A and B are shown apart, each in its own frame.
Chain A
Amino acid sequence: MMVGIPFNVPFLAVAALIGIAFYIILSQRNLIKLVMGLGIMASGVNLFLVTLGYREGGVAPIYTHAPIERMVLPVPQALTLTSIVIAVATLALMLSMVVHIYRHTGSIDSEESRTMKG
């Protein structure tokens, strides 16, 4: 079953989210904003995966609520869930590192700290 990429709203949202995220990552110097940029990027990718799971006429794969013939394959949902779990771990780790950087340098501006250039 080939699914081309149709021109519709979720994909525009994906593009917008990832574009915003890249802009934030490349332009912002505040470390918290950098982390937020990565969070937005993760959301964009997750939205992309969930959108891929949409099938015309399919129903959500809830075992006890839906006729089995019309269920969609829950792989994209599983992928998204895994990716959300990983994003939680990454964000927590990054934020705790920001806390440490703030304690050392008294600042969360990447220009202020010595090695954080670029």
Chain B
Amino acid sequence: MDKLITHSPILIIAIPLLAAFLTPLISRVNEKARDVLVITTLAFVEFLVIILARDIYANGIHIYTLGASSPTLTIPEQYMVPVRIILEVDAMSIFMGIISATVSLAAAVYSLSFMKEETGRDRFYTLLLLMIVGMFGMEFTGDMFNLFVFLEIASISGAALAAFRTRFTDAVEGGFKYIIISSAGALVVLFSVGIFYAQYNLLNIAALAQVIQYTMLDKIALALLVIAFAMKLGGVPLHMWVPDTYAAAPAGITAMLVVSSQACMYALFRVCFTLYGVTLNMATVGWIVIILGMLSMFVGVTMAIPQIDIKRLMSYHAISQSGYMLLGVGVGLAVLGNPEALATYGREAMSGGIFHIINHALYKGLLFLTAGALFYRTGTRDLNKMGGLGHNMKFTSIFFIIGALSISGIPPFNGFASKIMIYESVYRFNPILAVIAMLVSIITLASFTKAFQSAFTGPQLPQYKDVKEAPRSMLIGMGILASIIIFFSLFPGLIVGWIVYPAADALINQAIYISAVMGG
């Protein structure tokens, strides 16, 4: 068991990778065996993530040096700096890992029936597992260049999955847009990695953070990184790809693309807090993140109101919700240099933002899955053509209600728990921001009421008389997410204490992250 925990950072990445290349071979023999393999792999990864998380909360950061003679040997004897690839998993990384593992498991179970009609499903599962590898890699790596590599793995497989149903024109176009944005963003990231290497001859995040000077070139690199990651996470001036890609991708994949965007958000936070940290001019960068968040929040929700395509509507809400996370963490970033403000409301705001990440992944994942179930049974995403589906699709409508109430921040759901943390702390930072955030929440509720009313309520339409409930595996996938949402809604305090505060502290305490690799 100890050995399993020691090796679990790499096993979480390597086992899906192994399974990804086993699936094409196994599906040649037996399709059922392949499905079992995929689900078992993801369940095992979830198990590994949980035991690793327990160990991290008890014993602190996990370091794993690939290819060394011992996992914790970061700096070989003759060297002054880390030269090998290092995985560094702290509370924030494992927090993102929990999100990725859970949502991927639900999405994969869901996809078992959703993709039943498609051809070439062995490739679908290969890409799905590769995308999971990319997300975990981004979250666990302690190395700037590997961040780029895993970012590309996640983007390429994500784009291929979004365009998987090539018989739909909009799916291919959505995937194309995604890959253009991602590869341009990733090249920008690579360019800034080059800037770091030119100045410090280092690639390791902890080693870089120790020596970074905040020169002009570093400022350029920071600007490039912020732009690239903001583009990838769908922040507002650079959000145009989000609705096209999210709406056209298969439903399970849309849920995973949300998580993939959040992995990019994690990378943004990691760069701002850990790489630059104390050397950074926090107020400026913090305000940039806050403004990005406010814009996303407001423009996202305004664009969502007139949508009649249910998945486009949800995509615009995804943009709007990521604004809350940026707002919360941005406030924390803005007061990072001020210990008093950080203790009174900065840490709380960051925790709210971070808690909102997991809540958003759960309820937005659930909502996209219900939209996929509607599409699976009715063949349309147009809200005007739906109606009265609540009669036949009872479970789906219950899941939709849970997701919709949670996203609108209605007590006692988990969306409320994280939003109230953001409102309270942001109010002490700047009251106007908090008021706008509350306003956005109300518009969100209105928009989802409209969507629910046009899809589920009303008289049964004649063309949907024979519509059946979604297949069982889709219900199980949605049920996993819905039950976690309910659990989080019942015990928000517990969750915040268990996983959210450690994650926020991990971002704030740059020194611990550095000393874990550099020693001393």
Contacts and interface: CB of A to CB of B under 8 A. Distances in A.
Interface string B130-165: 000000000000000100110010001001100100
A45 B156 contact: no
A39 B201 CA distance: 26
A48 B194 contact: yes
Contact of A89 (B156, B180, B198): B156
Contacts of B193: 79
Contact of B184 (A25, A76, A82): A25
Interface of chain B, helix or strand or loop or mixed?
Answer: helix
B214 interface: no
B380 interface: no
Given A45-B194, A100-B163, A105-B169, A115 B203 contact: no
A18 to B, nearest CB: 8
A2 interface: yes
Interface residues of A, number: 39
A25 B198 CA distance: 27
A5 interface: yes
Nearest to A48: B194
B190 A76 contact: no
Contacts of B198: 3, 5, 52
B201 A1 contact: yes
A8 to B, nearest CB: 13
Contacts of B163: 97, 100
Interface of B: 145, 148-149, 152, 156, 159-160, 163, 166, 169-170, 172-177, 179-180, 183-184, 186-187, 190-191, 193-194, 197-199, 201, 203, 217, 240, 244, 248
Contacts of B183: 38, 42, 87, 90, 94
A45 B190 contact: yes
A104 B167 CA distance: 8
Interface of A: 1-3, 5, 18, 25, 31, 34, 38, 41-42, 45, 48-49, 52, 73, 75-76, 79, 82-83, 86-87, 89-90, 93-94, 97-98, 100-101, 104-105, 113-118
Contacts of B203: 75
Contacts of A93: 156, 159-160, 179
A76 B308 CA distance: 49
A82 to B, nearest CB: 6
**Most A-side CB within 10 Å, residue of B149, B156, B176:** B176
Contacts of B201: 1, 3, 73
16 contacts: A5-B198, A25-B180, A31-B176, A45-B187, A45-B191, A48-B194, A73-B201, A79-B145, A82-B145, A86-B186, A90-B183, A94-B183, A100-B166, A101-B173, A113-B169, A117-B240
Contact of A94 (B166, B174, B179): B179
A38 B180 contact: yes
B175 A97 contact: yes
B152 A90 contact: yes
Contact of B176 (A52, A82, A86, A97): A97
Given A38-B184, A90-B183, A116-B176, 13 more contacts: A34-B180, A41-B187, A49-B190, A49-B194, A79-B145, A86-B156, A89-B156, A94-B179, A101-B169, A113-B169, A114-B169, A115-B170, A115-B244
Nearest to A22: B184
A75 B202 CA distance: 10
B152 A86 contact: yes
Given A90-B179, A93-B160, A114 B152 contact: no
Nearest to A94: B179
B179 A5 contact: no
Contacts of A98: 176
B82 to A, nearest CB: 12
**Most B-side CB within 10 Å, residue of A3, A45, A73, A114:** A45
A48 B187 CA distance: 11
Given A5-B217, A115-B174, A118-B240, A94 B187 contact: no
A97 B179 CA distance: 10
**Most B-side CB within 10 Å, residue of A5, A73, A94, A115:** A115
Contacts of B156: 86, 89-90, 93
A98 B173 CA distance: 9
Contacts of A79: 145, 190, 193-194, 197
A86 B193 CA distance: 16
Nearest to B174: A115
A116 B160 contact: no
B158 to A, nearest CB: 11
Contacts of B149: 82, 86
A48 B221 CA distance: 14
A48 to B, nearest CB: 5
Nearest to B178: A97
